[in-house]
Chains A and B, each alone.
Chain A
Amino acid sequence: MSGGPLIVQSDKTLLLEIDHPDAQACRMAIAPFAELERSPEHVHTYRLTPLGLWNARAAGHDAEGVVDTLIKYSRYPVPHGLLVDVAETMDRYGRLQLANDPAHGLVLRALDRLVLVEVAKSKKLAGMLGDRIDDDTIQVHPSERGRLKQALLKLGWPAEDLAGYVDGEAHPIELAEAGKDGRKPWTLRSYQLEAVEAFWAGGSGVVVLPCGAGKTLVGAAAMAEAKATTLILVTNTVAGRQWKRELVARTSLTEDEIGEYSGERKEIRPVTIATYQVLTSRRGGAFTHLDLFGARDWGLVIYDEVHLLPAPIFRFTADLQARRRLGLTATLVREDGREGDVFSLIGPKRYDAPWKDIESQGWIAPAECTEVRVTLTDAERMTYATAEAEERYRMAATARTKLPVVRALVDRHKGDQTLVIGAYIDQLHQLGEYLDAPIIQGSTTNKERERLFDAFRSGELRTLVISKVGNFSIDLPEAAVAIQVSGTFGSRQEEAQRLGRVLRPKADGRQAHFYTVVSRDTIDTEYAAHRQRFLAEQGYAYTIVDADDVLGPKLPTVD
């Protein structure tokens, strides 16, 4: 029995004791094939999933190596059955290959004839396969490349895509590391460089980096590598403008070379930034802006926030399999569980870094998470107790009692850029009045939004109240404090996004604070428990305090 840091569980989770001297080495060894599920302070949990094992296989790791690693670092005997299962699962990847045949075009080639026979009989592949060329090869309709990969993954025989990519229309793009227009010189951070290299070597795939870790730069570097026309898909217009700003500042591209394709403007330029919304808008049941995908010979397609990618875009992506695709996201967890589609259509995960690690490298401000529990007044408790079930969360989340607590928190961090985030418009208006701060909500025009953001960025504005629109991809570099008053029923993904708001690098490396104000003994607390679990799993210290401690005369130090 070796005293290794790893404990292999029979449900295929791996527990890594991080205080163990070998923990770091072990983490490096298992990272390629196991997915980090939670990383609280003492024991990190990784999970062996078929997708993860196939990702590893795609990156050139073999089953023998994985088994050896498990045995080497495991503290206790590893069940034979689990080892066999790992080996068998990994063996399934690449038995089928998609390749370009000089004579027949795109073909599905089998290294194992029986597998080909098995999948060819499947009803799920009906219509995707063409003529049988020989015993081991079947012609594939080029238009079905994406759908075939999707279907094969569902059958448990993921195909290795070796068919290559078109180069696309060349366009010179360089990183302006020397500094542009009088800006300071800069360099890519080491992990950004690794991410781009991993992506480029793999051809297509997803890079997972936390918010604030500079995903835009990874995109820019990938473009500089491709040196071709690029289509960038982002969640909304503000995020698109942010991309544009960043690209102009960090690369050789000029304003004129970057087009915006949104509800407001329809520009198609060598680098075009389009929003998901405009692409998925329909007129008379038909997608009207699909032509964008064929408008130019794109050499690279970048998907920002892959975890939010709407289902129709998956369908379009299935037709784009011959182009290089880069997915960027903070988390691969999709609330709709379509991780498999991301794997088969955009590509395997190419790079992933645990948040805490990046933070310890100093790129992200360390955040302090605090939950403040507010005791409702008796009247409010009464109203809550008698409310309809569907109204309860709203009642609890929008309790007026929260207002003074929020103000106390804002006052405590006087001088810091503070964001107050909520989900209910009425409550936001109350807060806006109470704190005397402007509000950004869905109906705020893009112009007004940008004005407010600019003011906030410049420090003119200290406090900003934002609604759910802030969940996605806005960039507020100087927000050091976030106060969350209500959310979307404890969505983990929303939590990650909101935390990202305050995790962007701070100019002076100050402590970031993330407060959540919840009503005690209500459903609000239950949702908060989900949130707490998520944050703790990400390794953040989490404290719970009572509102009285915040409101009390002497401010307690929260550390």
Chain B
Amino acid sequence: MTTSLADQLRTLPDESLAALLQLRPDLVVPVPADISALAIRAQSRVSVARALDGLDQFTLQILDAARLTRDPESGSTATDAILAMATAGPHPTAPTAVRAAVNRLRALFLLYGPEHDLRVVGGVDEVAPYPAGLGRPAAELDPRAAALCADPAKLRRTLLAAPPSARAILDRLAAGPPVGSVPPGALQAPAVGAEDSLPPDATNGGAPTGSPIRWLVDHRLLVRISGGKDGGTVELPREVGLLLRRDSGPLGPLRTSPPVVSSPPREPKAVDSAGAGQTMEVVRHTEGLLEALAAEPAPVLRSGGVGVRDLRRLARGLGLDDATTALLFEVAYAAGLLGELDLTGSATTRHGGDQQVLPTGGYEVWRASSLAQRWEQLARAWLTMTRQVGLVGQRDDRDRPISVLSAEAERAGAPAARRAVLGVLADLEPATAPTADEMLEVLDWRAPRRSRGRETAHREVLAEAAQLGVTGLGALTSYGRLLLSDVTEADERGADDPLGLRSEAESGEPSTAVRALDALLPAPVDHFLVQADLTVVVPGPPDPALAAELEVVAEHESAGGASVHRVTTASVRRALDAGYSADDLHKLFRRRSRTPIPQGLTYLVDDVARKHGGLRVGSAGGYVRSDDEALLTEVLADRRLESLAFRRLAPTVLSTPYQVGRMLIALRDGGYAPVPEDASGAAVLARPKTRRAPARVPVSTRALDPLAAPKLALPRLRGVVEQIRRGEAAARAARRAPAVVRGAAARTGPAPAHGHSEALAVLQQAVRDRALVWVGYVDAHGATASRLVRPVSMGAGYLRAEDERTEMLHTFALHRITAAVLED
């Protein structure tokens, strides 16, 4: 008797049902209406795929065994059958491991029913069509292949007869998947009689075989399942596959536990040390990046993200490669240290950029915290950010480059990939550094369905972890391990504590990872070593007070574990400008230096201090100068001029904040005789200026008798006369226009049809004779008019004619011409 999954679920106690829901939480989103809805969902393709994703390679293989051992009639199997198949190979696996796997599958309800009547939920076959990478039974594919498979001895003989090149194809298909595509033409039989001209096949001892695939298909070892005349796909029947797998067992090689990492463990201290060194670099470079962005924010592209040119600029400034800079950029953004700012009035400032990326207020807080805390903030952001930075710089589907912060590099699976990779590292012995390939193998065993196709992403995670100092020398560092468990714990706690009430209580306390890292990082130092080449070496990270002092008095030269600064003339001057006196500087160096101060430095400070302030700069409204010092002294002492607030700059110069005009008046009032001078020192003379109206033309230039007629010159007169005559002629001509023309023009009714064609005949003749013609026509406004013209040409619906009177060439639309009469 068979029971459906729904029936099975109905019989479960509450705890078991709850356990299932906990294992497959996607079943309750949304909460199913009843058990049968739950059962339908549990068998759905999506839910089954999710459940399978989390399974390791071995469990999946056992599931395959369950599918292979199904009775073709009833569709049920039994634990014993699975066990038999799993232990069938030459290296039988432990039955306990198999049973455990079966129990896992049953707990997930991928298998259900009692032990002797296990069933596989429906969705599995849809999700993974080929169990264990084996094809369908021959009976389902092709009767002739089935006939071959039914005779094991013959099948074996046929297999052994296969030429080596064909055998290679078989072995590849036997390892799974059992389906392969056939290149076009491979199945075509050679032309009759051309068999002998086949090229010799090196893999077959020199004898020509033709296409190995054709051989296989012809011998029924492969079955064509689709495709037309040539090409298509072939499938390896299950029986053939099983026969080929006789060395490794029907399920292929079985591994009950993940592959072992053979790399020898490193010195844990060396690992931590290399990682800690890297964390210092990361923090320093991030700070450099943010400072660079603060100085010159990067514009956001229209398509989103920051352009490659800006990235290159930043990378060059930091001395890093583009990929590392992109990583730091993304991490800093994810950590909330960078943000976009809308540009106001962007239309005028820069083409395309409405937003800029620059440090946020959070940067200030970050900068003030300790090195380890700063690193932790970055590393946490990296662990949880849904960005795959490795994509930056590659091209997307439309062949456009993917830029930093752009939406194309967004990958929801990125945090899971990081968690998976670091999880593998964390599960190894401390300080074990697997190679990337070993790591991928382990991941492949742990969740094959999840990791296949993500190898690149996983390799990137390893590289990024090394760059960020989460790993050192390829192994997970002690503080990296703490951080990872911290983040994982926080996630789990987050599930129990959705409002984050509990984590609130412990904020402010540095995390264990921070404390562990702190112990590895050098302690801040408060002294330096001064040398004769005027370099100042701080043998460790400077404490903030020292750093601030050095910022002022020396130029930064080299950074890292220690920092090297150089005292230069410019830096000393800067310090003096900032308010230090030479004495302060000497004291500062004496106080901070562990080594005697070189004479050169003392001399430099004194020398610069001596020259400092040798020039004084200020602003004044005006000045008074005089070669007579006594006179200036008198001005300075004059009480009436007190309001001008004179200051004596030199024995011969006084300055005042007031403008020249006011000073002049005041001085003159005081009985002095000042002369203003311009910028070049020349005296500016000022005469009193009286007001005047604008100039006018004097009357005297006009003619005596304004009414007298002007005299006309002879040529002008003649021109006038000619003009008049021509006007007259035109008027006469208009009057002379023949009645036909005038009449046609004046007539209100439609022009007679013959009139128009007649007119055209007249015009044609006139063009030939170059004779003058009266033309009546309707103008653009519908008014009628007539004109005496000499036609030049006619064509394309237009008449071109010369008007003798105005000496212009006119163009008339032929359809508007109403009449034409030769001038007589």
Contacts and interface: CB of A to CB of B under 8 A. Distances in A.
Interface residues of B, number: 44
Given A544-B600, A544-B603, A80 B472 contact: yes
Nearest to A539: B532
Contacts, number: 136
A541 to B, nearest CB: 7
A15 B600 CA distance: 22
Interface string B318-343: 01000000000000000000000000
Contact of B560 (A7, A42, A43, A83): A7
B413 interface: no
A536 B558 contact: no
A1 interface: yes
Interface stretch (B145-153, B276-284, B353-361): B276-284
Interface in A57-86: 71, 74-84
B416 interface: no
A8 interface: yes
Interface stretch (B235-243, B534-542, B796-804): B534-542
A9 B529 contact: no
Given A42-B529, A76-B277, A9 B561 contact: yes
A536 B560 contact: no
A543 interface: yes
B599 A79 contact: no
A165 interface: no
A76 B540 contact: yes
A537 B533 contact: yes
A77 B477 CA distance: 13
A293 interface: no
B520 A75 contact: no
B596 to A, nearest CB: 9
A354 interface: no
A74 B561 contact: yes
Nearest to B472: A80
A7 B562 contact: yes
Contacts of A75: 522, 539-540, 561
A74 B280 CA distance: 15
B469 interface: yes
Interface in B551-582: 558-562, 564, 569
Given A76-B522, A536-B534, A537-B533, A11 B274 contact: no
A7 B525 CA distance: 14
Given A77-B520, A542-B532, A9 B564 contact: yes
B467 A81 contact: yes
- Which of A7, A80, A541 has the most chain B CB atoms inside 10 A of its CB? A80
Contacts of A38: 533, 535
Contact of B273 (A13, A71, A81, A521): A71
- Which of B467, B522, B599, B600 has the most chain A CB atoms inside 10 A of its CB? B600
Interface string A80-106: 111110000000000000000000000
A42 B595 contact: yes
B560 A8 contact: yes
B754 interface: no
Contacts of B469: 79-80
Interface size bracket, A side: 35 or more
Contacts of B531: 40-43, 536
A21 to B, nearest CB: 15
A83 B278 CA distance: 10
Contacts of A541: 532
Q: Is the interface of A mostly helix, strand, loop or mixed?
A: mixed
B473 interface: yes
A1 B520 contact: yes
B424 interface: no
B521 A542 contact: no
B532 A40 contact: yes
Interface string A522-553: 00000001001100110011111000000000
B598 A542 contact: yes
Given A42-B531, A76-B540, A9 B562 contact: yes
A541 B280 CA distance: 35
A542 B560 CA distance: 29
Contacts of A80: 274-275, 277-278, 466, 469, 471-473
Contact of B537 (A42, A533, A537): A42
B611 interface: yes
Nearest to A534: B533
Interface string B587-599: 0000000010011
Interface in B257-271: 270
B523 to A, nearest CB: 9
- Which of A8, A10, A541 has the most chain B CB atoms inside 10 A of its CB? A10
Interface in B455-506: 466-467, 469, 471-473
Nearest to B602: A544
A41 B467 CA distance: 36
Contacts of B472: 80
B807 to A, nearest CB: 73
Interface string A1-21: 100000111110101010000
A515 to B, nearest CB: 15
A43 B529 contact: yes
B176 to A, nearest CB: 32
A543 B561 contact: no
B274 A83 contact: yes
A32 B684 CA distance: 77
A428 B707 CA distance: 97
Contacts of A521: 611
A543 B284 contact: no
Contact of A11 (B530, B534, B559, B569): B559
A544 B534 CA distance: 13
B594 to A, nearest CB: 8
A464 B561 CA distance: 50
A17 B539 contact: yes
A488 B613 CA distance: 31
A78 B564 contact: no
- Which of A77, A81, A533 has the most chain B CB atoms inside 10 A of its CB? A77
Contacts of B273: 1, 71, 77-78
Contacts of B539: 7, 15, 17, 43, 75
Contacts of A9: 558-562, 564
Contacts of B280: 76-77, 79
A438 to B, nearest CB: 34
Nearest to A38: B533
Nearest to A84: B466
Nearest to B284: A10
Contacts of A82: 277, 281
B558 to A, nearest CB: 5
B17 to A, nearest CB: 50
Contacts of A83: 274, 473
B274 A79 contact: yes
B277 A77 contact: yes
Given A11-B319, A13-B560, A76-B277, 16 more contacts: A7-B540, A7-B562, A9-B560, A9-B561, A10-B559, A15-B564, A43-B537, A75-B539, A77-B277, A78-B273, A79-B278, A79-B469, A80-B277, A80-B469, A82-B277, A83-B473
15 contacts: A7-B560, A9-B560, A9-B564, A13-B564, A40-B532, A41-B532, A42-B531, A43-B529, A45-B564, A76-B522, A79-B560, A80-B469, A81-B278, A81-B466, A542-B599
Interface of A: 1, 7-11, 13, 15, 17, 38, 40-43, 45, 71, 74-84, 521, 529, 532-533, 536-537, 540-544
Closest 6 CB pairs of A and B: A9-B560, A77-B277, A536-B533, A76-B561, A536-B532, A77-B276
